A and B are shown apart, each in its own frame.
Chain A
Amino acid sequence: MPIKILRVMKLVLILLTTTIMQVNATSYAQTVSLNLKNASLKEVIEELRQQTGYHFLYKTQMLNETKQVNLSVSNEPFLEVLEKCFAGQPITYTVVQNTVVLRRKTQADNSPKQAVKVTGIVTDERGQPLPGVSVKVKGTNNGIITDGSGKYSLTVDNASGVLEFTFLGFTKQEVAINGRTEINVVLKEAQTALNEVVVIGYGTVRRSDLTGATASVKGSDIKAQGVSDITRSLQGKMPGVTIESAGGDPGAGTRIMIRGVGTLGNGAPLYIVDGVPTASINNLNQVDIESIDVLKDASAAAIYGSRAANGVVLVTTKAGKNGAPVVQFTANYGKQKIANEVDVLNAQEWANVSNAAHDNAGLPRLDIAKNPEQLGAGTDWQDAIYRTAPVQQYNMLVSGGGEFTKYSVSGGYNDQQGIVDVTGYKRYNMRVKTETTKGRLKFGETVLLSREKFITMPGGWGGQGGNPVGSAAKMIPVFNIYDPTALGGFAGAYGPVVNVANPVAQLNLENINREFTSIITNAYAQVNLLPGLNYKLNLGYTNSFTSNYDYAKRYTVGTLFSHPTNDINLNKDQTVLVLLENTLNYDKHFGKHSIQALAGYAYQSTKYNYTAAGRTDLPDGIDQIDAGAGISTTGGRKTESNLVSQFARLIYSYDNRYLLTASFRHDGSSRFGSAHRYGDYPSIALGWNISNERFFESLKNTFSTLKLRASYGVLGNQEILDYQYSAAIASNINYVIGADQQKWFGAIQTAFASPNIKWESTKTSNIGVDLGFFNDKLNVTADYFIKKTSDLLLNVPIPGSAGAISNPVVNAGDLRNKGIEVGVNFNDHIGKLNYGISGTISAVKNKVIALGTGSQQIFGGQPTHHGASSTLTEAGGSIGSFYLIKDIGIFNSQAEVDAYSKDGKLIQPNAAPGDVKFQDTNNDGQINDNDKVNAGSPFPNFEYGFGLNASIYNFDINMYFQGSQGNKIYNGLRQDLESTNLDFNYSKSMLNAWTPNNHSNIPRAITSDPNFNNRTSSRFLEDGSYLRMKTLQIGYTLNNALAKKIRITSLRVYASADNLFTITNYTGFNPDLGRTLSVLDRGVDFGHVAYPLARTISLGIQLSL
């Protein structure tokens, strides 16, 4: 340990033990503003302490002989102000980390104009020594560079001179020598984007050293919004990161896709929260987030090897900082309302359309439609289930720390009622994070607890309406909601109509909820073995419990739905993950070289178990299994998977100009058979900070940053079910046998095993550029990538004649994604107006190179309850392309029907005037699946987001827009509603159906339609482009003086609107589709089982004590 530091520490120790200690701090500030007239030094110190959070150590008596201070500075660096305050005082000072230690000047201090040797150590804000810092006497050529330990020693002629400390990436600092012989300096990192610390796997790196493609969002950028999960507020903010809602259900969260669809299976990225892999981040608390960093290319993500092919999302939660406790409280209350209902007929309109449809088909009219004029408007089923629903969130966060331990503790409560009656979501969060340093050792942990409760709606009662949202659109308005005489109290459909359930009855007669408890813990111990060399043991443990509850009351709803007993079904599952990681980290700067090396070993085990139980025939009002009189059902299973890995990484930088990152991971997975168990994932990346080259200096005034990056690497994917490689015997495939007709237990192999499956791997090449203009006021990051996935893991459909009940997982083919993504931000001020503009845009194109047997076609996306598929995935095309029979107008006369023939045979023999004409693409004289054409892609040409934030005086405004362009959506609900084929309610557009006197583009009304006007066809494919105003927020922050008066640090109040408007031609509930899990039906809107998106207006406060 350097002798000088030892001396300082001794001094500190003495001061601590022998003098009155005054340690105070609030938060740190870089700059201070003072306006002092004849202030005592004590007052000055107090003011500085409050503004900066620095500790001051001194004996009270020391201040007795000091002079009064007159000083007026505005936003000047703290150390400069310090210099000015102590100029000419009989006291000198040393800055050690965040503490300013005062001492009386010695004789030597007071004798200027004498050659002295000044020594010291230059550190960064984290206390790490900085080698290579230029130390120069101002106005002379006398200078030196700090050594490997950040130390310097310089002989100066004039003890009252000024030392200049300059280092790339750090703010230049000038310190008056003031007769001191020891000057230790803490250099502040320059506040440019390039100096941000970026979280990468198993560590952090300065953005200027980064060679991979990443995107990050700071917690402070995620303003409190009237939304319940963090990912939703990230939509459009990170280039190349697609975030889609996973449904409008309260608590449903989002799906994140990084750089397009890299696999045909589970495309979810790997989520790592404070070092621990988790299944989802939807349950995290917004206020807990320090940063979210997304690793997009192979160079960035390769350290996670086997699981990183779909990208990695690293979430870092807030840590405590040195200083007095900071207490933050946020509250938000809002109202949500459905953004867009579907237009359907009222009772009278429906009866008229229905009668026309039956007349046209030559079938008898429905009894309930016989007298349209007496029906009036009937029941508005959508009004009956949608409501204006409140949403509220409360959070509290306390953080702080001292020399040895830092802590951050928070709690949150979130209560969101759904816009669909009955549904709702509640979440409780608690988090503790601490870190303790003791000499060479560092310990820390994060504990994240959350409990969620989802009250969801039934998926359907076996009928064809779908869930209550679908039923509300399809339920005939002639029927009533309530029937007090019926068991359960609800009315319903009767007569020969389609069995659509009363949605209000569905919501009230079946109670479904899910409780999800998640424990995420991480604990680590790190020991400094040698200078720069650290060993870290990281333990992760997550335990999540799901408890599902489904209680169906007894009921009779109309004549089509009966349920004579109260039944209950419960199931519980638990997933336990254990992670153990050993890493050695070596961090060394020497001369112009900087090395960050990492080697590690990791073991990960995931165990899942599931138990289910149910019983029928419970007494009314009782929902416990023991009370049931009927049949019991049970079920259970468990699975386990393990992963063992070794990995290493080297980050090397020369003179901050030339950068190299190389990494390697070797993974073994229990999901594969012994022959293909292991996978190797190498990557390499190079970077060149051109703007740090000498020849670039002349450009620096306008062009402050220019960096080129290039990387290549291989990533893996093992997201398949466990045990796929062994041929299992399925049991409980039972039959009845014997004179007494008992159960006969059955078991046999029902599906084929996949003994030879191996890792899916993705090769990614990336080139990127980072640009900064006007002192980095304007920053642009752009990346171009090619991602080639091979050995795709996929359940490829095999022929039914093979006899298996499911499709085996195989390494099915190759896939390529190419894309470009750009992020821009600009921050400046005009007078008092500070403003920032940011935007992202990304375009990805995917292409299936090879699939299965070569001619393999995978169809997907059945958009309605019964009906044909709408998408095709095959070699040469894009994933899940729409593949549809093409509609080419309406037959306006019998002559047109007759004219549409081939070799004298009608192409559509069942058609009549008013029916849809379909294209006979293959010219075989009939319309069938062979006539399908590629009708467009569910993937947008580009996606974008842009935002503006501005503040003036105490007001701030923040708005964010987000959208996609050029994608298609198949509107499944419209396929149901814009046809009179079946007897349920219809779309308003059916009022304009074709008749001999009204040649519209809506086909004629006909029930049991033999021409299949509503067959799955291009008629229901729509443009899915949209532009949405995602957020508008206006805030007011109390001014400092007022805040001080009421003894708080800060207070901001705001009003916020989410999803204020969406500009789109899409006619369904929401162009940002929910629910779809499979990439093969990504663009299909399953409107009959949707949950529409809400528009939210909310008010909130953010208070710091």
Chain B
Amino acid sequence: MKNLIIIFCIAAIVCSCKKSTLELQNPNQITTETFWKTETDVQSAFAATYGLLRDVNGGFWGVRGIELGNGRGDDFFIRNDVADLYKLSTFTNTPDNGPANDLWNTSYRAIFRTNQILANIDKVTLDATVKKAYIAEAKFLRGLNYFILAINFGDAPLIITVPATTESYFTAKSPEADIWKQVISDFTAAAADLPASYPSQWIGRATKGAALAYLGKAYVYTKAWANAETALKQVTTMSYQLMPDYGDNFIAAKKNNQESVFEIQLADVGGTDPWAGENANQALGVTTAQEFAPSEVSGWFEVSPTDKLFNEFKKEKTTANDFDPRMYATLIWDYPGATFYRKPFSSFALVFGYHSMFKKYQNYDQANELTGSSGASNYASSNNERALRYADVLLLLAESLTMQGKVQEAYPYVKQIRDRAKLANLPGGYSPDQMMAEIMHQRMIEFARENQRFYDLKRWGKLAQEIANSDKIGKQFFVAGKYDYFPIPQNEINSNPQMKQNSNW
């Protein structure tokens, strides 16, 4: 019996477990209760939000973003290697198109994050001015993401708070006009409280100038010309200037220059894998240059300029009877002495029947696109994407003035663009239509491959006409109205009972 008692005692001891056995803390991650304490927490939250702008899959300035932002334009060709990209560039895409859906999801992820910052900033003890600036910065980023959604999708859910309950995951779409209202409201608030500049360690974040420029651009997109003029004119009073050499805007050595109003920061630092996703292994450069480079220099030649763009550049020569310097900076083609990646042009094959390849943003002074600046064998380019250049401010302002009939006031802004391109002065006395034609021509060649052309054509109402009047593969499949926007992603419709597909899809 004694043994029995001892055994029961032992059993009782091993049985008695602490309550904490089932109360475990995640050792890998802190939780929302312990976050939002210091200014560093707020800054980390901003890094996590900015980062989505260059997300490899869904960031508007990541590789897929550049492909879908340009791919539908009359100046751009995408080969049929990645079927979804080929489909959207040939207007045969469907609501389950991967890159388009990733753009939607990534934009909303950024919005969720900005909403978190706005909802939690009060938990952090901050100087009032500093806090206002952070709120302004969060609103800039939210406005920018709604801007991306508005130009690509039109109608979309408008979410400006953090979902509190499971039910609030499901939001119906709002009309495009309401999205634009939010964009303008956010940019207006951002412009009021953002600093005009940052100390050197924070260069790259959104400034007052960026907010004003985007506010002006949003007004242009909504045809609020007078408001656009007001906002954009303020930018011209700040310290922005065109780079004397147009091509300097697209090389890694001249990042964050005087022409840069808002720029996506990219560098081959962090991890080694550009496709690793949001973790420490993610290389913080961009793979676009490698995907666009010809196969002769380890590229995947996914895209090509059309001959329509090539010919558009040739329409007007410089005062020295040379090609537009922007043509040399944007394209590489078979001209005397042409070299690319330290090789003569003759070592390259033009595989799609078009006459040129993209040079803009390529690391063409390297031997190939393989090696990032860190020496790692990945494809991460350190070249920043210039999201909004001062040249855009000038041309948008010229357009705002022209559309209000103030053609004379538009001349000096167009002249700045033309002067840099070494083009002769415009004849005086242009009608608004003539001036608009000039602005349209300038925008096409000034901003090739900069996610502008397709959206410009759309707001000008010229999509159907210009696509038909081009050598774009798949132009016969364009249906006016339908392909102006991406459809609501199928996954959104599948998982959101409140969501309905747009009527023409």
Contacts and interface: CB of A to CB of B under 8 A. Distances in A.
A1010 interface: yes
A952 B31 CA distance: 71
Given A728-B31, A910-B477, 18 more contacts: A535-B7, A564-B370, A617-B377, A630-B376, A635-B281, A644-B17, A670-B23, A733-B279, A735-B51, A738-B201, A747-B44, A799-B169, A799-B496, A801-B499, A802-B163, A803-B163, A866-B83, A1010-B474
A1012 interface: yes
28 contacts: A364-B353, A527-B7, A562-B298, A582-B14, A614-B272, A617-B375, A630-B272, A635-B280, A669-B22, A727-B32, A728-B26, A731-B29, A732-B279, A736-B204, A738-B200, A738-B202, A742-B269, A746-B44, A746-B48, A748-B48, A750-B113, A797-B491, A798-B495, A800-B492, A803-B110, A855-B497, A856-B495, A1008-B474
Interface string B330-371: 000000000000000000000111000000000000001011
B485 interface: no
A580 interface: yes
Interface string A794-836: 0011111111110000100000000000000000000000000
B267 A741 contact: yes
B431 to A, nearest CB: 39
Contacts of A895: none
B274 to A, nearest CB: 10
Interface string A871-908: 00000000000000000000000000000000000000
B157 interface: yes
Given A580-B14, A635-B281, A801 B44 contact: no
A214 B111 CA distance: 53
Contact of B15 (A554, A582, A634): A582
A631 interface: yes
Contact of A745 (B44, B92, B494): B44
B246 interface: no
A644 B24 CA distance: 13
A641 B47 contact: no
Nearest to B22: A670
A200 to B, nearest CB: 22
Interface of A, secondary structure class, is loop
A419 B21 CA distance: 48
Interface string A603-617: 101000000001011
Given A496-B79, A866-B82, A743 B269 contact: yes
Interface string A574-613: 0000001010000000000000000001010100000000
A881 B477 CA distance: 33
A1031 to B, nearest CB: 43
Contact of B351 (A495, A803, A910): A495
B182 interface: no
Contacts of A329: none
Contacts of B104: 800-801
A567 B376 CA distance: 10
A564 B201 contact: no
A779 interface: no
Interface in B10-43: 10-11, 14-15, 17, 21-24, 26-35, 41, 43
Contacts of B496: 798-799, 801
Interface of A: 363-364, 462, 464, 494-496, 498-499, 527, 529, 535, 537, 554, 556, 559-560, 562-565, 567, 580, 582, 601, 603, 605, 614, 616-617, 629-631, 633-635, 637-642, 644, 668-670, 674, 677, 722-723, 726-750, 752-753, 796-805, 810, 853-859, 866-869, 910, 928-929, 981-983, 1007-1008, 1010, 1012
Given A582-B15, A738-B203, A929 B490 contact: yes
A986 to B, nearest CB: 15
Contacts of A499: 81, 300
Interface string B86-113: 1000101011101001001100111111
Contacts of B201: 737-740
B92 to A, nearest CB: 5
Interface centre among B17, B28, B275, B301 (most CB of A within 10 A): B28
Contact of A733 (B11, B51, B494): B51
Nearest to A744: B47
B170 interface: yes
A726 B26 contact: yes
B135 interface: no
Nearest to A552: B377
Interface in B104-134: 104-105, 108-113, 115-116
Interface of B: 3-4, 7, 10-11, 14-15, 17, 21-24, 26-35, 41, 43-51, 54, 79-84, 86, 90, 92, 94-96, 98, 101, 104-105, 108-113, 115-116, 156-157, 159, 163, 166, 169-171, 200-205, 255-256, 265-267, 269-273, 275, 278-282, 284, 295-296, 298, 300-301, 351-353, 368, 370-371, 374-378, 382, 473-474, 477, 489-492, 494-497, 499, 505
A1010 B477 contact: yes
Nearest to B378: A616
A564 B371 contact: yes
Given A499-B81, A748-B45, A804-B109, A494 B295 contact: yes
Contacts of A857: 494-495
Given A496-B79, A616-B377, A723-B24, A802 B108 contact: yes
A928 B295 contact: no
B296 A559 contact: yes
Contacts of A1008: 80, 86, 90, 473-474
Nearest to A742: B269
The 7 A-B pairs at the shortest CB distance, nearest first, are namely A803-B112, A746-B47, A746-B48, A799-B496, A559-B295, A800-B105, A565-B377
Nearest to A637: B28
Given A644-B22, A748-B113, A733 B47 contact: yes
Contacts of A722: 24, 26
A709 to B, nearest CB: 34
A641 B27 CA distance: 12
Given A630-B377, A801-B159, A734 B51 contact: yes
Contact of B4 (A529, A567, A677, A853): A529
A638 B83 contact: no
Contacts of B92: 910, 1010, 1012
B203 A729 contact: no
B47 A560 contact: no
A796 B202 CA distance: 39
A800 B169 CA distance: 9
Contacts of A929: 94-96, 490
B24 A737 contact: no
Contacts of A635: 279-281
Given A741-B269, A748-B44, A799 B499 contact: yes
Given A631-B376, A797-B494, A799-B170, A735 B50 contact: yes
A554 B32 contact: no
Nearest to B167: A853
Nearest to B295: A559
Nearest to B113: A748
A736 B284 contact: yes
A363 B90 CA distance: 14
A739 B200 contact: yes
A498 B34 CA distance: 49
A803 B113 contact: yes
A641 B166 CA distance: 26
Contact of A810 (B43, B105, B166, B370): B166
Contacts of A495: 295, 351
A634 B82 CA distance: 31
B48 A733 contact: yes
Contacts of A853: 170, 497
Contacts of B80: 498, 981-983, 1007-1008
A383 B336 CA distance: 48
B278 A750 contact: yes
Nearest to A539: B14
A1009 to B, nearest CB: 9
